[in-house]
Structure 1
Amino acid sequence: EDDQSNRPTVPAGIAGQAEVIKKCTDLVQDFRDKKFSKAVACTKIMQAIPTAFVEGGAGERAAHSCFEILDQIEKELAEAAARGSGGARRSESPQGGNGGRRHSRSTSPHDESNPKRRRINDALLHWVVEDIIVEATLSPELVQTRKQLIEYSRDPKYVLGTILNSTRHMSFPKSEWLAIIKGQAIDLNKVITGQFSIAHERQHVESIGDGIQLLFGSSTPTKTVSMQSEWITAWTKVAEATAFVFPHRRRELEVYRQYVMDLFTSSANFVHERIILLDRKLRNEAVGRRDLELSDCTRFGHWERSFLNDNGAAYLESKPKVKDTSKRGGGSNSGGGGDSQKKSAEPCRRFNDEHCPSNKATCCYAHVCSRCKRNHPLPKCDRPAAVPE
């Protein structure tokens, strides 16, 4: 045992993060249940975190966060005891009595907006306790983004107004500015539509009662991002707007741009649509959580396989579904047709590049030559190309 206690193990972060979080959460709850004193709780927490004694490390920050929770619980327990001995009756008396002294007891930011609102006990919200501990292991950029999003959530419309009235803001769809402020994914289709649109984006909301609101003038994208050049155009605008709101994310956005560009340049043209789907998934994944940056490219491997491989689950799910009519008699020549969705008569570009992953029956476009409209790809066409006049 002496050898183990004297062994100098100083990992870079918090080792066994999930186990440490559970230990600390249990210790906080035990202190709330009055199973031991605050001094004992502090000692046990320091022992539970491997790097708690390393000055300036993630463990020290995590331990400090736990101590703040203990302070809050200690204060709440003391207030509860005071109310139990008669403090509650005094606090219910009119303001003319001794109630004035009671109003100054709480300095919590949760009480600033409404002093009469009952304070929620964060110690009973286990995810809040865990977040305080986990935040010590996050990058400074993630911590800063989270702080700003929490602040913006107080009044997102006000934040949007300050951006739109700023002399430095760029032209960008209002709906997507609001998405950035709320920490939501940006619609690249709306961005590229706005890039070439000459119409004004005007929206207004009408309330018809019972909490039901109707949105008028909502812009539906008329252009979709389907090629590398279109993605670059849209992403340039997205990165600029995001960095305007979160300047500390510039490096993250540039690393992600280079990551996607590497996928484009290392893949055949017919894979580019899959890359665009992958990009949409990765951005949705990143905004759906608060512990992941777009620059964490090494964590995207399973999504790459799912979207880019021919047998990837996400890619197969995104392909158009075709009804099987062979079991209902008549085969493909029977009446009623076979495809579950309408096929386009436009020649398939990937078929003409000899790279279409779908067959004639499953592809959304016609597998015909773009020059002569016969059943062969363009490189095999014997008809001479038309000479422009």
Structure 2
Amino acid sequence: VLSSHYSTVIDPKQTQTLGKGFEITLSKLTSLHKVKTYGDWSIAIDLWIEALTFIMPWKESELRGFKQYLAGFFVDVHYVLHSRIIDFDKACRLKIEGQKYLRFDAISKFRRLEVTHLSSLGMVAYPDLQQISGSSGEKSSGKGSGIGKRSSRPDSSGRGEPCLNWNRGACDKSTSDCMRFHVCSKCRGGHKHGDCPVAKTSK
């Protein structure tokens, strides 16, 4: 949707048969602008709702409810992680595409996708935390004695929880050696709790 708003280059047409002699012919627009921020997403979803309600006006309330549901996450989730919300939006639409009977405002049907994409324990979000933890460890080890990085990580039931000692600046272990994640105990970003913008604004 956002690409069509900015694009001036058109690829060959595509035709979709609907049956009973009806066809829809669409021109595929070259992608020039991808949704990366809340501003991009807000523009794109408004254009999307406008397009759908033009041909299905009875769906406007349903689509507005879906937008309001997603917009709430942008308020509650740290802006660094807004890409997860955008991916969650895509996952919701794919679910509805695969299950035609679902409504966009059937919020309860998206709970498992919320866990997958937005929870720190989700299958999509958890690897991101490991990357954040790894990059944090590389920076801290680079300031030390120059000892090479270890590729192996010890298995432990403590993995997945933020290291409170690291957040207080008292952990003497590297990211690879510590039994817990070197991430913010408030928002799980790659900074300490004392530097967390979310913690500061919530005081």
TM-score (normalizing by structure 1): 0.30
In 1, the alpha carbon distance for the partners of 2:190 and 2:96 equals: 31
User: Any unmatched runs of 5+ in structure 1?
Assistant: 1-190, 206-216, 322-329, 334-354, 360-376, 380-389
Aligned counterparts, 1:181-192, within 5 A: 191-192=1-2
> How far does the alpha carbon of each residue in 1:243-264 deviate from its partner, in whole angstroms, 9 at most, with x for none?
1122221111010011011111
Instruction: Looking at secondary structure, tell me which structure has more strand per residue.
Output: 2
- The DSSP-based 3-state class of the residue aligned with 2:51 is helix
In 2, the alpha carbon distance for the partners of 1:194 and 1:356 equals: 36
> How far does the alpha carbon of each residue in 1:295-349 deviate from its partner, in whole angstroms, 9 at most, with x for none?
001222221121112221122357898xxxxxxxx9559xxxxxxxxxxxxxxxx
Residues matched between the structures, number = 135
RMSD: 3.6
In 2, the alpha carbon distance for the partners of 1:196 and 1:219 equals: 9
In 2, the alpha carbon distance for the partners of 1:307 and 1:272 equals: 11
Q: What does residue 226 of structure 1 align with?
A: 36
Q: What does residue 60 of structure 2 align with?
A: 250
Q: What does residue 109 of structure 2 align with?
A: 299
CA contact 2:4–2:29 (8 Å) conserved in 1: no
CA contact 2:129–2:188 (8 Å) conserved in 1: no
User: Any unmatched runs of 5+ in structure 2?
Assistant: 15-26, 132-146, 151-186, 198-203
Runs of 4+ in 1 over 3 A off after TM superposition: 217-220, 316-321, 330-333, 355-359
CA contact 2:7–2:30 (8 Å) conserved in 1: no
Aligned counterparts, 1:165-176, within 5 A: none
In 2, the alpha carbon distance for the partners of 1:287 and 1:319 equals: 29
Q: What does residue 267 of structure 1 align with?
A: 77
Q: What does residue 203 of structure 1 align with?
A: 12
CA contact 1:306–1:314 (8 Å) conserved in 2: yes
> How far does the alpha carbon of each residue in 1:110-136 deviate from its partner, in whole angstroms, 9 at most, with x for none?
xxxxxxxxxxxxxxxxxxxxxxxxxxx
Change (3 A) 1:203 1:318: farther
Cα distance, 1:356 vs structure 2:
7.2
Q: What does residue 45 of structure 2 align with?
A: 235
TM-score (normalizing by structure 2): 0.55
In 1, the alpha carbon distance for the partners of 2:30 and 2:190 equals: 29
The residue identity in structure 2 corresponding to 1:192 is L
Based on CA coordinates, which of the two structures has the bigger radius of gyration? 1
In 1, the alpha carbon distance for the partners of 2:94 and 2:100 equals: 12
Q: What does residue 86 of structure 2 align with?
A: 276
In 1, the alpha carbon distance for the partners of 2:129 and 2:3 equals: 25
- The DSSP-based 3-state class of the residue aligned with 2:124 is helix
Identity of aligned residues (%): 22
